[in-house]
Amino acid sequence: MPTRINEANPRPFGEIALDTVTLDIIENALRNARVEMDATLVRTAMSPGIREQGDAFPLIADPSGKMIVGQFGSFIGGFLDGWDGEIDDGDMIFLSDPYSCEGAISHSNDWLVLLPVYRDGRLIAWTAMFGHQSDIGGKVAGSMPIDARSIFEEGVRIPPVKIWRKGEYNEDLVKLVMHQTRKPDWCAADLNALIASCRVAARRIHEMCDRFGDDVYVSATQALLARNHRAMKALIAMAIAEEPISFEDYICDDGVGFGPYKIKCSMWREDDKVVLDFTGTDPQSAASVNFFLNENMFKMFFGIYMIMVFDPAILFNDGFYDLIDVRIPEGSLLKPRYPAALSGRTHALGRIFDILGGLLGQKTPEFLCAAGFSSSPHLMFSGTDRAGKWFQLFQIGFGGIPGRPMGDGPDGHSLWPGFTNVPNEFLERYFPLRIERYEALADTGGAGLHRGGNGIHMTYCFLEPGSVSIHDDRWFVPPWGVNGGEPGARARKILEKADGSQTIVPNKIDTLDVEAGDLLHFITWGGGGWGDPLLRSPELVAKEIRQGLVSVEGALRYGVVVRDGSVDAAATEALRAKMRSERGELPLFNYGPGIDALRERSLAETGLAAPKQPVWRQEQALAAE
């Protein structure tokens, strides 16, 4: 049965010709409402992932579900396609199952709330917010088991249900859901925060309609969509060629012994439309690194890249979606078949941004960024303290951002620009651990005219025994450099026992037992470098040595010789001349040692039923570096 939007007064909205001032006021009011949704969320939520780091994404959409303001693209279309009931004034939808909304949310930890906004019986808008829950049950604390073979092992799955029905709260539903989680206090507070954020945005929409009128408000949203469509149409015609180009990158492993997994995308223009085709991407994994990539989400990723490169003043929204044709093969890593596990999809999600950069930058290398939007490192630490109280930490770590046309990549920054780190003081106050070290690790950023951002070396000292889970990538396939820049350093994780012995542990591991006094050295990847390293200012390199961002030995990658804190000009000039004569032509992409051979091997030809090639052990990979 198709979705029925119940409207007591189903007269159409009239199209109003808007003056520029009114349109600007409504546009900025919508932008501010989106910001207020975030502010409401962080003031109300309890989990560190949402409250401290901002792992939640707001949305305000038009009556058909097209995003007007937001960050992740509209997830309403996927919900409406799968919903077979009615939607009334006073309803609110709650869901977390990716397979029920065409991957609009991509794993079950993300809880999504959708609020239809009615005025005088007519649906005038949607507001929505989703956020990552630190625990939703399942076989491991944190609910993201690396070795899961199906989504049933990853905690509670919530199909689209009405948490509010015509103004009545479904308390029994909430009790049932909270009964599945190890942290019901966090989840209940976070759910209330999602609801409150949606209601705040709904109030702001009502205020705009009270001021300008319903027809003016709706006409403004359509004008913003149309403006975005015109802008994107021009950008596509200018920047996308009719001849196909391709780019590929790899997820290092799946945590259970197989990989790397190739993600490939080809792009070309057909008339006004751009085609983005993922044919050649490897088959889905038996483990949880699959990423159910929603086509509209990828359209938004593509649009954001185009807008930020060519015209950052444009308000990105869903208006351009009909200009993009996204093709994802069924049964691939990016469109796995139900009930494939999805909880570890973060690595493929992050890798999509690197692939977009490599794909879109080939025609205009001057705008090309290096790799570094590569993963979203997770640490989970849980157990029972000496007072018998359960503790559980979910934290997102940061890596190095890639070198860019306009300058160096930031050191130790988030994959998502709106994220912040969890303050060390917060961690030490609420969890039985101490932060021994938190610093940008010198020389981990790829060398270049513009240096890649350094990764982070964070050392946790555990004060109570417990269990650790680690989810990270880029330990085998390094973030590549561009325009002559060098790759960034790879990630690694080292467990140091109280007796001083050290062991390299996998970057994807669950239930690693730790004792009081153990140290975990959590080292993330660096961003790739941009441009010829021999063109970087020697004085800048010397300054970064003083700042601890580059070592004296690392300065040699730039052909810079520093003695007693000062640049040796003659030795630097001689070294750079020698390096230029020996290196040959600089590549557009520098993938690092061994990766060129990997790229030449067609993993996609192994077939759907064939096993992947095993990955190297991490000790071998790090030794080869």
Mean pLDDT by 10 residues, the chain (625 residues): 57 80 96 95 92 90 93 80 90 96 92 96 95 96 96 97 97 97 97 97 98 96 94 90 93 93 96 96 97 92 81 82 96 97 94 91 87 84 95 93 93 78 93 97 98 97 97 93 96 95 96 97 96 98 97 98 96 98 94 65 36 43 44
Q: Same domain for 56 and 103? A: yes
Give residue 77's pLDDT: 83
End-to-end CA distance of the chain: 58
Q: Is residue 322 part of a domain?
A: no
Q: Is residue 300 part of a domain?
A: no
Q: Same domain for 266 and 279? A: yes
Q: Same domain for 52 and 130? A: yes
Q: Same domain for 608 and 541? A: no
Residues 6 or more apart in contact with residue 53 via CB below 8 angstroms: 395, 396, 414, 419, 420, 421, 422
Q: What pairing do the DSSP bridges indicate for beta strands 273-277 and 508-514?
A: unpaired
Residue 399 DSSP code: B
Q: Is residue 68 part of a domain?
A: yes
Q: Same domain for 435 and 554? A: no
Q: Is residue 303 part of a domain?
A: no
Q: Same domain for 425 and 481? A: yes
Give residue 6's pLDDT: 66
Give dist(CA 119, CA 372) in Å, integer. 45
Residue type at 52 in one-letter notation: E
Q: Is residue 306 part of a domain?
A: no
Residue 290: closest CA among 319, 270, 261, 269: 261
Give dist(CA 79, CA 57) in Å, integer. 16
Q: Is residue 323 part of a domain?
A: no
Q: Which element (helix H / strand E) includes 398?
A: none
Q: Same domain for 272 and 247? A: yes
Q: Same domain for 439 and 560? A: no
Q: Same domain for 470 and 545? A: no
Global pTM value = 0.91
Q: In the Cβ-directed half-sphere of 261, how many Cα atoms lie within 13 Å?
A: 29
Total domain count, the chain = 3
Residues of the domain holding 163: 4-232
Contacts 24+ apart (CB under 8 A), 580-589: 580/534, 586/483, 586/484, 586/532, 587/484, 588/362, 588/365, 588/368, 588/482, 588/483, 589/358, 589/480, 589/481, 589/482
**Is the previous residue joined to 260 through a cis bond, with omega within 30 degrees of 0?**
yes
Q: Same domain for 551 and 608? A: no
Give dist(CA 221, CA 22) in Å, integer. 12
Q: Is residue 521 part of a domain?
A: yes
Q: Is residue 554 part of a domain?
A: yes
